[in-house]
Structure 1
Amino acid sequence: MTLSPTLYATLTRYQQRISDALKASFERIAADPATVQSANDLAPYYGQMRYHLGWVDASFTPTSSNPGKLLRPTLLLLAYEAAGAWGLSNEQDYLERALPAAASVELTHNFTLIHDDIVDGDKERRHRRTLWSIWGASHGINSGDGMFALSRLALWDVLEKGVEGEIAARLGRVLDRSCLTLAEGQYLDMSFEDQTEVSTAMYIDMIQRKTAALMACAAEMGAMLGTRDQATIESLRTFGEAIGLAFQVRDDLLGVWATTAELGKTEAGDIYRRKKSLPILHALEQASAEDRARLQQIYQQQEPLSTEQVRTVLECMERTGTRAYCRTFLSQYCQRAYKALAQVPRQNNPVAQRALDDMEVMVRFVEEAAH
C-alpha cells in the first residue's frame, strides 16, 4: 500500500513507541522465572515469533525488517488522544497509559496473520518467507497460539500504568469478543471457498467480522482509555468499523483495477487468483444469465486463468457497473467514518485536535480509491 506523505507521517509518529512496547512484552516473558528455567530450549520458540515480527532473521540473528503499517495500534492511540487521553494529554508521557493496549492489539493482529498464512498456504509476507513455510505448519500454529497468549498478557500491563481495574477488565472483554468475531469471520471466509453462491451481503458480513472487527476494537479500546463518556467511545468505535470496511473495499478495488505502478503487483491480480472479493460477487449477482454462466465456468476451472479470460471477466464487470458499485460502497463507508468523527466532542487541546485531523487523513486516503 503506497501511503500519502501525510498518512505516512501519522503512521510513523508512534512507530518507535509501539515497537518498544511490543519488545517489552517479550522481555517480560523472558524474565519470567518459568521461562528462564528453560531459556535455551524455548529460545527458538520465541525466535519464531520475533522472526514474524521482523526483529530477527531465520537464524534468529537481529535484523531490521518491515514491521508492517502498525495501523491498528496507531488507531488505538489516535482514539485515545481524540477522546481526551484521560486528561493527561499535556503531560510528557501521557501515551504510557495506552501503550500496553496498543501492543496487545498489534500482537492480536499478528497472531491472526500467522494462522491466515497457514490457512491460505501463503509462503511470503512483507517480502520474506512466512513463519510456517520455514518451520512447518505445526510450529506456525503453535507460535500463533503463543502470540495470542502474549497479546492478552500485554494488555494487563495497563494496570501498571494506572488504569483502573474496572476499565482493564472491560478492555479485556472487548478484546476477547473481538477475537471471537475474528474467528467467526475466518470461518465464513473459509466456508466461501466451497460455496458456489456467495452474495455480496454474505461477503460484507464476513469482512465486517474478519477485517473491520479489530479496527473497531482498537478504536473502542483507545477511547475507553481516554474517557468515560460512552457516546464518545461509541462514536470512535463506529469510526474504526467504518474505516476498516472501507480499507478492505479499497483493497478489493485496487486488486482488480489498479495499475502495476499503483499496486506494485500484477494488474487484475485478484481475478487471476480467482479471489471472491466484492467486485466478482457483485458481477455474479448482476450479470445476465449468459455472463453469469461464463463467469462461473472461469472461476471454477482448475487451470490458471489466461489473459483472455481475465479480459472476459473485466468486460462482464463493465456491463454490470461493478466498479461504480464498489466506489459508491466505499464512499458510503467513508461518509460514515466522517460522520462518526464529527460526533466526537472537541477537546480544548492541540493533541486531541491533531488526532482527529489524522483520522480524517486516513479517510481521505481511502476515499481516493473511489475517484
Structure 2
Amino acid sequence: MPGGSGTDVATGAHADAAALLLRCRALVRPALTGAVGRLHPWTGEMAAFSLGWSDVTGTPEPGASEGKGVRQALAVLGAEAVGADGRVAVAGAVAVELVHAFSLLHDDIMDGDAVRRQRETVWKAYGTGPAVLAGDALFALAVQSLAEVPGAHTGPALRRLSGTLTDLVRGQAEDLCFEDRPWTGPGAVRPDAYRMMAEHKTGALLGCAAALGALLGGAPDATVTALDRAGRHLGVAFQVVDDLLGIWGDPAATGKPVHGDLRRRKKTYPVLAALAAGTRAARELAALLDASGPAGPLDDRAAARAAELVERAGGRDAALDEARRHLDAARRSLRGVPLAPGAARDLDALLAFLLHRAV
C-alpha cells in the first residue's frame, strides 16, 4: 500500500543513516576524545558535558545524547567519496565537530535556550561566563587540531576552516539581526534572506566538513568545490527541517520544548513562508506575532494558535518543499563529479535521512 511503502522508505533511510553515522563516530571518537583531553580540566569538563559524554560532575553519562554527528560523518564520507581511506579525514572531522560544539555553546547563550538534547545547556549548568570560555576553548582547539596535521594539505585545510568560521559568525549575526526586524512591511525578513542566513550559519560548516574530507583525501579542486556546494545546500535543508521540528517535532525526540521557536517568536522558515502567502491566515498570524511586542514571548495558547495558522497559511508545506529543493540541489552537485559509488550511496542515505526525520 502507498502509506506502507512511504513508511518503509523512511524506516530504511533512517536505519542506513544511523548505521553510517555510528560507523563514522566510531572512527572519529578516539581522536575527538584525545583532543578534548588536552584542554584545561575545567573547560574540558564543560566540553565533555556539551558533547554528551558526562554530567555536570564529570561522571560519564552513557545514556546522554551526543547529537547526530552529521558533520564528522560528512568529513569521513568526503574522503571516502574521492577514493581515500576515511582515516585521513579524522583530523578534519575532529575540527568541524569542535567548531559545531563551540557554535552551539554560544548559540544557546545568545538565544537564552536552557535545554538542549533533553538536559540543561552548558550556560545554564555552569554559568554564562564559564560557558563562553568553554566555547572559546573548543574554537581554539579546533584550529589547533587541524593545524597539527602533517602534509601539504594543512595550509589549504586551515584556510578553508578559517573562511567557514567567518561565514558561521556572519550567519549568526544575520540571525540575531532578524529579531529586530518587523514581521511585515518593507523591512520584513523575506525567505531569500533566510536562505542566505541558513547557508552561512549552518551550510558553511556542513560544506566545510565534506570539502575537508575530500581535500585531505587528495581530491582535485573541482571535486572539493562540488562537495562544499553540496554541503551548503544540505545545510539550508537541515536548518529548514530543524525549523519544522521546532514547531511540530516531538520534544522526546528533539530534546526541546514544544513550540519553543514560536514562543520566542523566532523568524523561522515556516513562519516566514506563511507570512509571505498574504492569506487571511497569514494576516492573523502577523497580528498574533505583533501582539506581544518586540520581545514578549507567546504563552502556550498563543503558540499553539500560531502553529495552527502557520500550517493553514501553507508554511509547513512550503518548508518541506524548500528542504526538498535544496536536497535535490545537493544531489546534483554530487552527481557533477566522479565519486566512489559506495560513498556516494552513503551520502545519499544521509540526505534522505535528514528529510525523512521531518515527515
TM-score range, shorter-chain basis? 0.7 to 0.9
Residue 178 of structure 1 contacts residue 214 of structure 1 at CA under 8 Å; is this kept in 2? yes
Which residue in 2 is equivalent to 1:249?
Answer: 240
Which residue in 2 is equivalent to 1:219?
Answer: 210
Equivalent residue in structure 1 for 2:341, among 333, 337, 353: 353
Which residue in 1 is equivalent to 2:353?
Answer: 365
Change in Cα spacing, 1:303 to 1:182, as seen in structure 2 (3 Å) is closer
Which residue in 1 is equivalent to 2:75?
Answer: 76
Residue 287 of structure 1 contacts residue 316 of structure 1 at CA under 8 Å; is this kept in 2? no
Change in Cα spacing, 1:312 to 1:46, as seen in structure 2 (3 Å) is closer
Map residues 1-371 of structure 1 onto 2, 5 A cutoff. 4-27=14-37, 29=38, 42-64=40-62, 65-85=64-84, 94-159=85-150, 163-164=151-152, 167-196=153-182, 197-258=188-249, 268-288=259-279, 291-300=281-290, 301=292, 302=296, 304-307=298-301, 310-311=304-305, 314-315=308-309, 317-318=311-312, 320-346=313-339, 352-368=340-356
Structure 1 position 169, deviation (Å): 0.5
Query: Hey, what's the Cα distance between the residues in 2 that align with 1:44 and 1:263?
Result: 28
In structure 1, give the amino acid aligned to 2:43.
Y
In structure 2, give the amino acid aligned to 1:355.
A
Larger Rg: 1
Change in Cα spacing, 1:313 to 1:113, as seen in structure 2 (3 Å) is closer
SS of equivalent to 2:53:
coil
Structure 1 position 321, deviation (Å): 3.1
In structure 1, give the amino acid aligned to 2:41.
A
What RMSD over aligned residues (CA atoms) do the two structures have, in Å? 2.5
Query: Hey, what's the Cα distance between the residues in 2 that align with 1:303 and 1:62?
Result: 36
Identity, % of aligned positions: 33
Query: Hey, what's the Cα distance between the residues in 2 that align with 1:158 and 1:97?
Result: 10
Structure 1 gaps, min length 5: 31-41, 86-93, 347-351
Change in Cα spacing, 1:134 to 1:330, as seen in structure 2 (3 Å) is closer
Change in Cα spacing, 1:73 to 1:43, as seen in structure 2 (3 Å) is same
Change in Cα spacing, 1:26 to 1:328, as seen in structure 2 (3 Å) is closer
Aligned residues: 338
Which stretch shifts more, 272-281 or 251-260? 251-260
Residue 67 of structure 2 contacts residue 117 of structure 2 at CA under 8 Å; is this kept in 1? yes
Change in Cα spacing, 1:151 to 1:247, as seen in structure 2 (3 Å) is same
> Residues 140-197 of structure 1: CA distance to partner in whole angstroms, max 9, x if unpaired?
11111011001111112321xxx32xx2101001001101111111111111111112
Structure 1 position 228, deviation (Å): 3.4
SS of equivalent to 1:98:
helix
Change in Cα spacing, 1:264 to 1:107, as seen in structure 2 (3 Å) is closer
Structure 1 position 296, deviation (Å): 2.7
Change in Cα spacing, 1:304 to 1:81, as seen in structure 2 (3 Å) is same
Query: Hey, what's the Cα distance between the residues in 2 that align with 1:148 and 1:265?
Result: 25
Query: Hey, what's the Cα distance between the residues in 2 that align with 1:173 and 1:354?
Result: 29
Which stretch shifts more, 61-70 or 4-13? 61-70
Residue 219 of structure 1 contacts residue 240 of structure 1 at CA under 8 Å; is this kept in 2? yes
SS of equivalent to 2:267:
coil
Which stretch shifts more, 8-17 or 228-237? 228-237
Residue 172 of structure 2 contacts residue 201 of structure 2 at CA under 8 Å; is this kept in 1? yes
The two structures have a TM-score, normalised by structure 2, of 0.85
Structure 2 gaps, min length 5: 1-10, 183-187
The two structures have a TM-score, normalised by structure 1, of 0.83
In structure 1, give the amino acid aligned to 2:57.
S
SS of equivalent to 1:50:
helix
In structure 1, give the amino acid aligned to 2:83.
G
Residue 256 of structure 1 contacts residue 267 of structure 1 at CA under 8 Å; is this kept in 2? yes
SS of equivalent to 2:148:
helix
> Residues 219-252 of structure 1: CA distance to partner in whole angstroms, max 9, x if unpaired?
1111111233222112111211111111112222
In structure 1, give the amino acid aligned to 2:308.
L
Change in Cα spacing, 1:80 to 1:277, as seen in structure 2 (3 Å) is same
